[in-house]
Structure 1
Amino acid sequence: MRKLICGLVVACWATLGISFAPAAEPELDLASVHGLPPVYFCGEAVPLQEEVVARRLVTALVKNSSLNSDFYLIRKRAAGFFPIIEPILAKYKIPSDFKYLPLVESALRGRAVSPRGAAGYWQLMPATARELGLTVSSSRDERRDLHKSTEAACRYLRYLHNRLGSWTLAAAAYNTGIGNLLGNIRKQQERDYYYLKLNAETGRYLYRVLAFKELFGNYKCYAPYLPSRVLAVLSKPVQGHVQEDSEEAILSDTFLDEVTRSALARQINAPKMANRPDELPLPNAADVFRGGVKAKLAEAGDLQPGQVWVFHLTRDGLADGKPVAEGDLLYATVEDIDLKTGKLYLRAEKLYSLNDRGTYNLALAAVDAATGRIGIKLPAVDQMKSGWILTWKVL
């Protein structure tokens, strides 16, 4: 099996025009993997007693450590970014193991963009990012902000865990979407990630996360499975770290995915499932955002990004725990206009209280009252003039 994996690595490098002369390494049969240390993801045990699971993990370890110089760079990037990510995870009570997700999603590159439009450190789709409170427009994309995008990802991960009851399943749902995952669970009557038959990307997703975790913190236990040159890179002290705004390329996802896909194809013949949807669905936005207000349009600016529109609250209530009253003024900005979907995105940052005669910071977004999703249909002019009433959710 070791020969198979190494052969696949060399073959993939050759296909990409990369020359490589492997150093002589002792032969090792990976067809039967024994002696692995216990592995956990967020406190949930990985069933390494299952040989298929053990082989998949070792395959991911070999693959993720195969590019020596690049792996050292990603360790440097993590040394700079993890101290920022970890406190945010703790704030939302998300296990620290999730800090490895953006390594798999984007190699910790803020400007990473997928062919489908997912972007940033946590690879969020535009609609999903807006649902989670981020600004996504032609002039500003908060998916590229490490702090704000991590907070948004934590809100989504908390929602997924509340729905699924398992951090392992939450990680899988982050990759494939909760709708796809729940569909597979219902069809297969199986709730354990390691025994579910999922699409190829999701089927190897958690193993890639686990590989980074084990290589970063427990690589010595895998010495029999890793070449000596890789062990030397892993034991090398990290000197300095990559700054947050650095966009130095690290890992080629195309290369890494091809190696893993080829290796696993020889071991497991799992049926292909539906592809990842274009966006991570939030079936009920109220599960993520609590509270909301109704407001009536009082003054409309031009229909273009950056314009400020003024709304009057239509009744007393609470917004983000603060009392608000009928007649209070809501200052909303046109954040984006999506002509393809015919949607308008309005975001409010300030509220003027008639009672207190003061202006307060209050982040809200206009939502479709029928679905609870951020973004509303572009209005007709006569509808706007007649006193357009919108529902707003606190971010």
Structure 2
Amino acid sequence: MNLLVCFSLTTSLVMASIYPFVNFRDKSSSHLVSVSSTTSTIAFDPGLTRMLPPVYFCGESVPVHEEVVARRLVSALVRNTAHNQAMYRIRQRAASFFPIIEPILARHHVPLDFKYLPLVESALRGFAVSRSGAVGYWQFMPGTARELGLSVRPGNDERQNLAKSTAAACRYLTYLHDRLGSWTLAAAAYNNGLGALLSNIRRQQQRDYYYLRLNAETGKYLYRILAFKELFSNYRSYEGLIPDQMLAYLSEPLTPESEPNGDEVLLPELILDEATRSAINTPTQEGSELTAGRNSDIPLPNAADVFRGGIKARLTESTGLQRGQVWVFHLTRDGIADGKEVEEGDVLYAIVEDIDLKTNKLYLRADRLYSTTEKHTYNLALSAVDASTGRIGIKLPDVDQVKSGWLLTWKAL
């Protein structure tokens, strides 16, 4: 089946200067994606929705089966892949900042997906200042910052303090979630303001972000966050939709940051200045308390091969230790899962089925697998097992061990 999808981006995407006309072909099919800068509209074949992997934000499913949602997500992905060097540099910055941000989010019980929000807000630059006067990593206005307990005065603007501003953002996001009942809506309110969002909800009688009619900035806001999440954690699933050169930059091992080129325009102010370096190297007391004494990664299981049908997958995204939460894993090798051949890089979507506090065990059940080669989602039934015994359930001696990089063995039920 031949599907033609034409993505035509506006001049603000600066695609014409880099890719005057680029064709990307899916290796496993005859699907052709064309990116052209000759028009200002986007023609979209809904057949592409079947190629997109399942996408989640804070455990909430993104309806990528809807044409308008898929179109907006792909547009955000393509925009972010217009500048290879800039994306590589923002990966460098995130690699330095995320280890400080993540434990603060976890302490406040805010989903880790929000670590991508300050990439959109400020490119993770403490001295970023917006035209409206918002300052810092999380771009707080002075009044909001003071309400959240931050000092805003000459010589001591805590909006520029990484740990303190992150903790303040957590308090604000928790408040928004409590009022709105959804992390997706909380993200929208972070951009648009709680009052404006509630007004739209009441007027339209609609509480789903993806179907609300919002201003242009807020309407694209979550997709920009999702684009960073997918490109940083799941880029292989979009082979054929983003350039091979960008895939190479996303998979390239990170090296210490060097001086950027002057033409990097993907995100503003990518230079990591001395004050920002200080924020990374000497976090405040809160950041120190959160990172001190943390255990090293769980020893990786090495006995998966003794189980027939056993495969290994590495945790990429966990939304929390609560029943029903969706966690994302990437397979680390080829194998067979529930009678189906699977490949390294395929994406496993698992549900937190139970947490047994008496035995201190975590039970994870996988129900879907996305093939990055076939661009197709399959239903399957796998459970995480103890690699040493083959029994269902993973011992959970320390919640801090549940983080990206955790490698688990999976076996068909």
Unaligned runs of 5+ in 2: 25-31, 35-43, 269-413
Could you tell me how far apart the structure 1 residues matched to 2:141 and 2:161 are? 14
* C-alpha distance 39-4 of structure 1, shift in aligned 2 (>3 A): closer
Task: Kindly indicate whether residue 23 of structure 2 is the aligned counterpart of residue 28 of structure 1.
Answer: no
Q: Give the secondary-structure state (helix, strand or coil) at the position aligned to 2:70.
A: helix
The residue identity in structure 2 corresponding to 1:20 is: I
Report the equivalent of 1:268.
none
Give per-residue Cα distances to partners, 1:142-161, cap 9 Å, x unaligned.
Answer: 10111110011000001001
TM-score (norm 2): 0.56
Q: How does 1:26-105 map to 2 (within 5 A)?
A: 26=24, 27-28=32-33, 30-32=44-46, 33=48, 34-105=50-121
Report the equivalent of 2:158.
142
Instruction: Please report the RMSD computed on the Cα atoms of aligned residues, expressed in angstroms.
Output: 2.6
Return the offset for 1:81: 0.2
Give per-residue Cα distances to partners, 1:164-183, cap 9 Å, x unaligned.
Answer: 11000000000000000000
Report the equivalent of 2:8.
5
Return the offset for 1:232: 1.1
Q: How does 1:255-294 map to 2 (within 5 A)?
A: none
Give per-residue Cα distances to partners, 1:48-85, cap 9 Å, x unaligned.
Answer: 11111011111111111211000000000000000000
From the two aligned structures, give the one with the greater strand fraction.
Answer: 2
* C-alpha distance 24-43 of structure 1, shift in aligned 2 (>3 A): closer
Tell me which of 147, 162, 167 is aligned to 2:183.
Answer: 167
Return the offset for 1:218: 0.3
Give per-residue Cα distances to partners, 1:214-239, cap 9 Å, x unaligned.
Answer: 00000000001001111111111112
Give per-residue Cα distances to partners, 1:354-373, cap 9 Å, x unaligned.
Answer: xxxxxxxxxxxxxxxxxxxx
Native 8 Å contact 1:76 1:238 kept in 2: yes
* C-alpha distance 182-119 of structure 1, shift in aligned 2 (>3 A): same
Could you tell me how far apart the structure 2 residues matched to 1:58 and 1:4 are? 9
Tell me which of 96, 103, 125 is aligned to 1:109.
Answer: 125
Native 8 Å contact 1:107 1:250 kept in 2: no
From the two aligned structures, give the one with the greater helix fraction.
Answer: 1
Q: Give the secondary-structure state (helix, strand or coil) at the position aligned to 1:225.
A: coil
Q: Give the secondary-structure state (helix, strand or coil) at the position aligned to 1:120.
A: coil
Could you tell me how far apart the structure 2 residues matched to 1:36 and 1:11 are? 22
Q: How does 1:1-395 map to 2 (within 5 A)?
A: 3-5=6-8, 8-9=10-11, 12=14, 19-20=17-18, 22=20, 24-26=22-24, 27-28=32-33, 30-32=44-46, 33=48, 34-240=50-256, 251-252=265-266
Give per-residue Cα distances to partners, 1:321-343, cap 9 Å, x unaligned.
Answer: xxxxxxxxxxxxxxxxxxxxxxx
Could you tell me how far apart the structure 1 residues matched to 2:194 and 2:65 are? 28
* C-alpha distance 11-155 of structure 1, shift in aligned 2 (>3 A): closer
Could you tell me how far apart the structure 1 residues matched to 2:64 and 2:89 are? 30
Could you tell me how far apart the structure 2 residues matched to 1:105 and 1:249 are? 20
The residue identity in structure 2 corresponding to 1:101 is: L
* C-alpha distance 221-213 of structure 1, shift in aligned 2 (>3 A): same
Native 8 Å contact 1:10 1:20 kept in 2: no
The residue identity in structure 2 corresponding to 1:79 is: A
* C-alpha distance 229-2 of structure 1, shift in aligned 2 (>3 A): farther
Of 168-177 and 27-36, deviating more is 27-36
* C-alpha distance 62-92 of structure 1, shift in aligned 2 (>3 A): same
Give per-residue Cα distances to partners, 1:13-34, cap 9 Å, x unaligned.
Answer: 67xxxx4355753441643323
The residue identity in structure 1 corresponding to 2:138 is: W
Could you tell me how far apart the structure 2 residues matched to 1:11 and 1:157 are? 30
TM-score (norm 1): 0.58
Native 8 Å contact 2:80 2:266 kept in 1: no
